[in-house]
Amino acid sequence: MSLPAKLQGRHVVREQTGLGGAARGAVALVWFYEGWWCKVWPGRADQRAIVGDVPFLPAWAVTTALVAIGLAEVALGLWVLSGRRARAAALVQTVLVGGFNAGGLLFSPGQIDEPGRLLTQNLAFVALVWMVAESSAKAAAR
């Protein structure tokens, strides 16, 4: 059974919104996992070691820096979920992922077992981030 043309357009928009919402949720979950689980509680030793290798960061400040980064990542996940200013959120995410990758590879290369895998996975993640941003921007324009 075919829907009238007028209703078909609405049906397609609803489907795209559902997929966009799922993708937005997936991006937010990455930030929640990386921020809360990997940096705040319980935290991962490799993340602590990478932050500990940052030049000029005293050892006593590593925990504070790690928690601050983790909470900022959780906040970023909430921003993504909100769908507000999606392109700005995508730009911030891209800069952070690039900065985190560069910092880890420059200051702590021994802590990253497979740099190629890291870069490949994060490239795919950033592509998803921008797909979500464009989907959100198009939905907001309707």
Residue 140: how many CB atoms within 10 A of its CB? Answer: 11
For the chain, which residues make up each domain, given as ranges?
5-141
pLDDT tens by residue, the chain, 142 residues: 454 545 444 443 343 468 889 999 999 999 999 999 999 999 999 999 999 999 999 999 999 999 999 999 999 999 999 999 999 999 999 999 999 999 999 999 999 999 999 999 999 999 999 999 999 888 888 7
Q: What is the CA angle 31-90-28, rounded to 5?
A: 25
User: For residue 8, what pLDDT is reported?
Assistant: 46
Query: What whole-number distance in Å separates Cα of residue 130 and Cα of residue 127?
Result: 5
Buried b (16+ CB within 10 A) or exposed e, 9-45: eeeeeeeebeebbebbeebbebbbebbbebbbeebee
What 8-state DSSP symbol labels residue 55?
T
Do residues 112 and 104 touch, judged by C-beta distance below 8 A?
yes
| Residue 139 pLDDT | 82
What's the CA gap between 20 and 86, in Å, rounded?
Answer: 12
Rama region for 14: left / alpha / beta (φ>0; ψ in -120 to 50; rest):
alpha
Q: How many CA atoms lie within 13 A of 129 on its CB side?
A: 27
